[in-house]
Chains A and B, each alone.
Chain A
Amino acid sequence: MKRKQLQGNLLIFFITLIAGMMLAIQFQSYAEPGYGESRDMILNLRNQIQEERLKHQELRNEIFKYQMLKSQYERASDDEDKISDVMFRELEEARRQAGLTSMEGPGLILHIDVPKYQLEFNAYDARQKVYQKLLDNDVRSLVDELFGNGAKAVSINHHRLIVNSTIRKVSDTIQVNTHPIALPFEVRVIGDADLLLAALQVSDIPKVFREIGLEITPEKKDVVVVPQARDVQQIQHMQRLKESD
């Protein structure tokens, strides 16, 4: 009887021991999970804060710009000539930003072509072979990289790239603004030449081009002329909204 009771007590002890261990293990395992998640959350929040800060900065710049404009208009409100002057200057600025004027400034000219030794043999065939492998994405990523590093104006083979420019591959030809372009490409960029060169070298775009068989040869220049955008679409179907009182 006593032995049975001892066995029973031992069993009770071990079972409660196991239950206690389960409790402790669960407590330890569950008290942690926030760790990994919260780190991701912190990174996420940081990125969001960064984006919002940039937006905030841009909006403030815009506000500042409009305030300046408003004060200009106010100062010129007595004199009609001055108003039209200010508006004319605004119009010119808008046209410049839209790419409707040719621009000059320090920058780069990028020559994209097959390597010289291939040209000596059969230039046309060499270029054709590479051209077929070229994708519009490659050209677009190059242009994006340039704009993303402070390029003020970019043109490819004398076609100016503006906000609604397109670079597309249509049945084996690359078209910029629906105009087909052929090798060699001459990309003119106005901007900080050193910064643009550095950015290009850091990105893997020259490597991608080299894998296709194209070499990008940059040429720093003090004065680069980027032509104006040619076929500009007229606004055909937009109408003014009724102004509210």
Chain B
Amino acid sequence: MWLPLAGLIIGILLGFISDIHLPASWSQYLAVALLAALDTVFGGMRANLEGTFDVGVFSSGFFFNTLLAAGLAFLGERIGIDLYLAAVIVFGTRLFNNLATIRRILLNRWTDRRPQEGERKKMA
């Protein structure tokens, strides 16, 4: 559970320290790819909390979704349709769903740890 978070934070720190700057034209592709990557990471965290985590699904999902999102953005720019919007909507929705599920599971775990509170709640 804490491993992905730790990886994220260390990755952010590394990125800031390394001071890499991409050309501005690429920033749109990276933004969509980033959305897909974040969705995959949070999806992995959710799956881990639910106990359905599979490393193969996680890693393949990460690379596939990221490349697919960036590819959609690139293709959309070439053919003149904002295809990146599709990626934004889908991955944004999934991100919200995953975070909501994570929040629900964590809250349930927290309430389960205090059985008396939980009893009182159940009775109410």
Instruction: Give the total number of A-B pairs whose CB atoms are below 8 A apart.
Output: 111
The distance in angstroms between the C-alpha atoms of A30 and B16, with both chains bound, is 13
The distance in angstroms between the C-alpha atoms of A195 and B102, with both chains bound, is 78
Instruction: Type the 1/0 row for A15-40, where 1 means its CB is closer than 8 Å to any CB of B.
Output: 11111111111111110110000000
- A residues contacting the other copy or chain, number (CB 8 A): 25
Range for the number of chain B residues in contact with chain A = 35 or more
Contact of A16 among B8, B21, B34 (CB under 8 A): B8
> Chain B nearest CB: distance from A7 CB in Å?
8
Cross-chain contact B34 with A23 (CB below 8 angstroms): yes
Task: List chain A residues, Cβ under 8 A from B5.
Answer: 16
Task: List chain B residues, Cβ under 8 A from A9.
Answer: 3
Which one of B36-44, B79-87, B93-101 contacts A? B36-44
The distance in angstroms between the C-alpha atoms of A42 and B123, with both chains bound, is 66
Q: Please name 21 pairs of A and B residues whose Cβ atoms are closer than 8 Å in the assembled complex, sorted by A.
A: A8-B55, A11-B59, A14-B7, A15-B40, A15-B58, A16-B7, A16-B11, A16-B41, A19-B8, A19-B11, A19-B40, A20-B10, A22-B30, A23-B8, A23-B11, A23-B12, A23-B34, A24-B16, A29-B23, A30-B27, A32-B21
Nearest-neighbor residue (CB-CB) of B29 within chain A: A26
Q: What does DSSP make chain A's interface, helix, strand, loop or mixed?
A: helix
Cross-chain contact B62 with A15 (CB below 8 angstroms): yes
Cross-chain contact B30 with A26 (CB below 8 angstroms): yes
Chain A, 169-225, CB within 8 A of any chain B CB: none
